[in-house]
Amino acid sequence: MRELPFHTILIANRGEIAVRIIKTLRRLGLRSAIVYHDADAGTPAVSMADTAIAISGRTPMAAYLDIAQIIAAAHKASADALHPGYGFLSENAEFARAVIKAGIAFIGPAPESIELMGDKIRAHNFVQQNGFPVAPSAIEEDDPATFTFRARAVGVPLLVKPSAGGGGKGMRVVRDLATLEDAIAQARSEGQRYFGDGRLYVERYVENPRHIEVQVLGDSFGNMVHLFERECSVQRRFQKIIEEAPSPALSPELRKRVCETAASIARAAKYRNAGTVEFIFGGGEFYFLEMNTRLQVEHTVTEMITGIDLVAQQIYVTAGRELGFSQSDIVSRGHAIEARLYAEAPERGYVPTTGKVLVLEYPDGDGVRIDSGILQGQQITTAFDPMLAKIIVHSPTRIEAALKAHRAMRELVLLGCETNASFLTRILREEAFLSGHIHTGYLEENPHIASGEPASDLSGFLATAALLTRPVREPADAVPELHAAMGSWRN
């Protein structure tokens, strides 16, 4: 295999995703450079990178969004390629163009693809015009004067969404048309505030839907493959907190349809590099939701079931290599679950928390992977997204993976900053989760899980556990010694 044309790759990101990228760069024999704000000095990513270049801004977040500073840092590090990670500038076509114009390879899709599929309205129109399934909808910019009228015609329940951005920001569910105008005004205001774009569209809100997404990968030679689906239906406030692969909701026939549809959409868009096509799924039907033109937070579960390093594949494709495998070579093995560890208090409305990490011990063992961006002694602030780490497990079956994830969360020790660890643990023993009967509104309908009140019925967990042939006492009952000693101080 010919050598890669890159020597140093700048990571325009921070935290766990920066650490995760550095690990692959090391494996490929490439040097890593990273930009960092003073708020991140001493973090694992900065310590691990071969070169670290300080950037500044009015706020820490502003520093990571400063295109000119990041490109200057890439030149300073003599970087010949740049990986944007996720978030920040990862889906900014202007940034991708600026990087390429500066003579640096952008590890991601072409700017034109980001513009087409990163814009929800353009992507929706593109997918619909190419004959793929979309939910009934109304797009404001088609005719702003009749937008509200057309939205009413779609019928309730409706979901009002900003055209730009993601993460649930600005989204409003409308169940009574009398509240439609207020929902539009609020969504427009938040879209403008978060993304600088007040354009809106509405679509039919599917009751109790499941969130299914498909990882795709394309190269410059026209090859396009999917790496199977992920299910991300465990969400709070439209944000994913537990993801798994494969989805327990899909039959083999439906899985084939969803995955081939996703690959066909990406192929129609002439997409190159890694991307994710997202669908809402309900009533046996699936509808296109959006496409994310970057690496996803939850890419890890795909890596666990396929054994394919997606960051490495991104680098190979950017380097001009042809995919080294075809669809028939990609095999899904076992089941993977990822839980996102957040610095937040679920019982107080998921408010972000702060503090100094006094003790930090991660679970380990066969089939347990930790992607983390923090270390003991680090100060946790509200300057960035509250995600601290991801705990990913892999087992031969779904129920074994669920029990392994439950055990891993129980073994996690993080003292000094309140986290959602106990919340995640409670979800993992919910009967609905264990039986695979979850939907995106499940946590909202069951507030006792966030509040920490005792579950009304643990019989599902215990009954499922009893089905296993291996001893279940440890995952169900064991409390790490340090946890027990700390009593209620444990998160």
Active site residues: 294
Whether 215 and 227 have beta carbons less than 8 Å apart is answered as yes
Contact 33, 11 (CB under 8 A): yes
d(CA 8, CA 58) in angstroms, rounded, equals 28
The two structure tokens encoding residue 299: 């890419």
Q: Which of 239, 140, 152 is nearest to 188 (CA)?
A: 140
Residue type, 160: V
β-bridge partners, 337: 244, 393
Q: CB within 8 A of 118, min separation 6: which ones?
A: 91, 93, 291, 292, 293
**161: which residues sit within 8 A by CB, 6+ positions away?**
120, 170, 171, 187, 200, 201, 202, 203
Question: d(Cα 438, Cα 432) in Å, to the nearest integer?
Answer: 6
Look up residue 403 and give its DSSP letter: H
Please give the Cα distance from 291 to 288 (Å, whole number): 8
Give the integer Cα–Cα distance in Å for 84 and 346: 30
- Give the burial string for 195-218 (b: 16+ CB within 10 Å, else e): bebbbbbbbbbbeebbbbbbbbbb
Lookup result for tokens 């935290």: 15
